[in-house]
Structure formats: structure tokens, C-alpha cells
Amino acid sequence: MSFFERQEKARRNTKLLVFLFALAVIGVLLAINGVTFLIMIKYTAKTPWGPSTSFPITPFIWVTGITLIIMSVSGYLRWKKFGGSGENIALYLGGQRVSPQTNDPQEKKLMNVVEEMAIAATIPVPPVFILKHENGINAFAAGTTIGNSVIAVTQGAIDMLSRDELQGVVAHEFSHIFHGDCRLNLKLLGYLAGIATIGTIGLQIMRSLSYRSHRSRRQKGGGQVFWVGLSLFIIGSVGVVIARLIRAAVCRQREYLADASAIQFTRFPEGLAGALAKIKFYSNGSFIQSHKAEEVSHMFFSSAFRQSLMATHPPLDRRIALIDKRFLNKDFVQQRSPQPLKAPKTKPNENLSVKSIFKSLGLPQEHTIFAAATTLQELSNPLLESARNENKAPFVALSLLVSPNPQVQKEQISLLCETFHCSKEELQQYVQEAQNLPASKRLALVMLSISALKQKPESQRKLFLTAIQALIEWDGHLDLFEATLLLTYEHYLKKPEKKEYNPSETLIKKTQEVRTVLSALADYGHSDPQQASMAFKRAYKEAIGQISNKLTQNDYTGRTFIHALKQLQNLKPLEMKKLVQSCLTCIEHDGQTSPKELEMFKAICLTLEIPS
């Protein structure tokens, strides 16, 4: 199953989840209306309807409407509380953000693992949090998109897990991000909160009446109100139980998929199996002490509470057995030695095929993770640390786009120093180092710098985007790769726009945008105009199913290319699959994929939030 098919499956699961929760809500509404019906019979002086009168439907309409409003508002407020952001959830649970420049050995180990995984997948490095007061071995990923997701790990996991075991846990959480599970998890919070509100209201009614005397309740009708409160409490509680059963059924299957994906990422099943085994044999297990953890328990790597019928995770023994049964033996686990990071057994072919590149989307390969670790080791320490630093990251990012022409470079550096009040010597050093980097290391700096730049205030992010646009348009010509980088920084640093998938929208309705992107890509990778034209026609037919002529280089600009990519960012997963396949077909038309073309393709994927 490809990345896009997993994304499509996540969308279908969301629809199924909405349907099941809708049934639960209907059940709650029917029960509340049943209570209303009994109250009308018991406490109305005369039968509210008879042979000559119609059934009074108005009270039931009011009860249904008010109940729906209460549930909807409650669910929305819960969603709004977290703002659709993984960072808000991490802070809600008491998480402390880890600085990418930390000197703590354990925190540095965690940051290196997360950075390697992000760079291997060509996505911005997500913020990392530690739950300092939690001694159980656990972790979670949260967020609505790749761009706003975070990774959180308990102190117990950092203290107890070796590097390869921690890598298995982090790979598991990354798979949740890639598969779209994190967005589904946040929706679950809202759905559960809405249903639970009914029971909470009933409980509050009973508590408020408990302060009155029995005599007072009798005289003032408190008894009737008490029974209404009790009914609401029971209905709400049953609704919550049903909702949690639905949540458990959906979440368990996703955990199996995340385990399988983590093993595919690392090609080292012993790491993940070792982490699960330590949870099994460790006295604190994976338990979370915070009382706030219950509502987000479905997000964790392992069960935050004891297993039950409503457990959101499969039994540990079954998860371990599916990976490696040896880890069910406590002696084996205790005698096992941590495994150092090793080079992959087989080296990838430098001239990658379309099939192999497409297969790796959303599924970082063993060699890409090792290559990411090597990249972090080979980058000069000043450049690497500056890319991680929110104050110096703008200079590293801008240095990638400064002109190689000595005279133009001098003018650009002077302008940047004046704008950002930085040292000219320091910026020149960044430019000199950055411009000698190979393609893979340039993208690594982009992904590290995005993570750091997101910490800056909005006004400073806008200033940075203005500066990067000025550099790119300095000579009046917008290079295709530079245009893609501009769109990448805009996409991740501006306020995120809500993604809306239109079921009826297809590539057929975006023919001009597809034509622009493929024409630009064909010209970028083929110096021979005839080869570029043939590459375009082949790719366009694959995407649209029709024949068309390539746009000339005078027919499009970097700006129109950026606009076209923006219009294609919200395609449905299976339509996005066709677009990506056509881009790869265009690149490989001449039978080879150069590092320059691969870098360009990865940059496009970065703007589309496709791990590559």
C-alpha cells in the first residue's frame, strides 16, 4: 500500500468514525427524548394528546435542538482549546520543549533520532517535547498536518531505552504523522467531549441538589429535577462507553499498522520489539500519571492505563509476538546489548528508478535514514548549530539563495546585514559554506531552519519571507528551485490554511496548473528542447489522460509556477498520487535521475507535505 493509498484509507476511516459517532449521538438523543416523554406522561396534569389532539412534537424538537447545540459547542470548544496543534496538547500534558542545541546527552540522543527521521523523510523537523514527570515508557505524536505536528516522549522512555529502541518508538510515531492518524486523533477528542458533556450536566444537577435537604427537594420539585439529572448522567455515561468502544476499535488497528511501518522505516525490528519488551517487564510499564492523559490516551505509543475492554492499544504480548517472539523472554531482553547505528547492508543505486522513488514516499528507507545521520555528522558544526538556532537560522536559510556572482553577492550581503543587523563576516562565512554543499545537505539545512524559524514571532517571519523573496527576484529572473524554496518557506512559516478536500475535484479540473508544473519540470531537467517536449507529453498524458503541448519558457514564470503548485496542494490523496507519478515520469524520461532533479522533486514534495 502506497503513501497515498494509506492517506486515502485514513480519510475513509475518518468518514466511518464520523458515521459511528453519529449513531452514538442519535442513540443519546433518542434516550433523552425518551426521558422527556416519560416526564410528560408522569408530571402533566392530563394526557398531552388524545383522539382529538395530535402528538405534541414541539417539546421533542426543542430538546433535540438544545442537546445538539450543547454537544456541538462542547466538542468545538475542546477542539479550539488545542487549536488543532500538537504543541498545545504536549503543553497541556506538562511537556517541556527540548532545545535542538541541548547539551544534555539523553536529550541530544532523542533530538538526533528525530532529526534523522525528519531529514530522511524530507519534512521539517517537528518540535520535540519531554514529559519530565512521567516515569513510564511512552510517547505520542500530535497535530493536524505534517507542518504542525510534534513528537513527545516521557522521561522514562529516554532513561530506559537504548538508541535503537528509541528510534523504533520515534519511527512508530512518525508513521502516525505520515498516515494522517494525528488529525483523526484530534477529532476523536472533540467527539468524545461532546457526548461526555451530557453526563457531566446530569452529574452537576445531582451534585447541586445534594446540598439541599430531602424536605426542600420535595417541596420545590427538586426530586423531579434530581431524577432528570440522574437520567442525563446515565445516558451520557452509556454514550461515553459506546464512544470509547468505537475509539478503541479504530485505534487498535492503527497501532498494528504503525508498528509495521516503523519496522519498514528502520529495517531493524529488534529496536521496536525491545522497546515494547521493556514496557512489558519494567515496573512502571507505559503508565501515565497525569489525570489529564485519559482523554488523549489513544494518542500514546502504548496503553497509558491498564488494559481493558475499552483499551485503545492491542495487548503488548501480541504486538511483541508479531515482531519477534524472542522478546517475550525476560532473560533474553536483559542480556541483549544495544545496537549501534550501522550502515545499510545494500547501498542504493544512485540512478534511482521512478518505481523505487515512488515506493519510498511516506516510507523512509534504511539507507535514507543512515544517509540523514551521515549528513548531520558531516555538516560543519557552526553551520549545523546555526540552522538549529532561531536567531541564526534566517542567515543560514538566506545564504542558500545568495548569488554566486561576487559583485551581486556583495550587494546582497550588505542589504541583509543592514536588514537583520548581523555581522558581515559571519554571513559571508555561511554563504561560503552553504554554496559548496551538495543537494542533499542543502535540503537538510532547509528542514532544520524551518523548525527554528517557526519559533520566531510572526513579524520576524514576515521580514524573513520578504528578504528571501527579494533575494530570489534580485536579477529579475526566478529560478525554479528558488521558487520552490520560497513556496516551501511560505507554506510552513505563514499561518496554516485549513485543508479542504473537494470530492469532486480532479486533475482534469486543474489542467492549466498541471501543464505549468510539468512544463517547468521538463525544462528544468532536460537541456534539449525536443527531449523536454517529449518528457512533458508523456507525463501530461499520465496525469490527465490527454495529449497537450508543453508551454514555452516564455509562457510561464517562477510566480506562475508557485501559483500552480499552491492550487495543487489540496488535491485528494489519490489525485495527488497521479500528480506525483507524472512528475517522476517527466524527470526520468531520459532514463536517468540526476541529483539536481531529485533535489527538485523532493523540494516539490516538501511543499505538498509528502514525505519523500
CA atoms within 13 A on the CB side of 219: 5
Angle between helices 529-544 and 511-525 (to 10 degrees): 150
DSSP letter at 151 equals E
Helices (H), 379-508: 381-388, 393-399, 406-420, 424-434, 439-453, 458-472, 480-493
Residue 69 burial (10 A CB sphere; 0-12, 13-18, 19+): exposed
| Runs of H (alpha helix) within 83-180 | 86-92, 105-121, 155-160, 163-179
Q: Which of 173, 270, 366, 513 is an active site residue? A: 173
Lookup result for grid cell 554563504? 431
**Residue owning grid cell 533520532:** 113
Report residue 48 as a C-alpha cell.
398531552
Q: Which three cell numbers stand for residue 262?
A: 516503523
**Residue 300 three-state SS:** strand
Pairing mode of beta strands 139-142, 150-154: antiparallel
Nearest to 116 by CA among 342, 430, 364, 400: 364
Q: Identify the helix (H) or strand (E) that includes residue 76.
A: helix 58-82
- Terminal C-alpha separation, the chain: 15
173 is catalytic: yes
Contact status, residue 173 vs residue 151, Cβ threshold 8 Å: yes
CB atoms < 10 A from the CB of 289, how many?
14
- DSSP structure string for 136-148: S--EEEE-SSGGG
> Could you give the C-alpha distances from 363 to 96, 265, 574, in angstroms and in order?
29, 6, 17
What distance in Å separates the CA atoms of residue 599 and residue 583, rounded to the nearest whole number? Answer: 13
The alpha carbon of 590 is separated from its chain's Cα centroid by a whole number of angstroms, namely 35
Q: How far is CA 287 from CA 121, 422, 474, in A?
A: 30, 48, 56
d(CA 87, CA 100): 16
> And the C-alpha cell for 524?
528544468
Which residues are catalytically annotated?
173
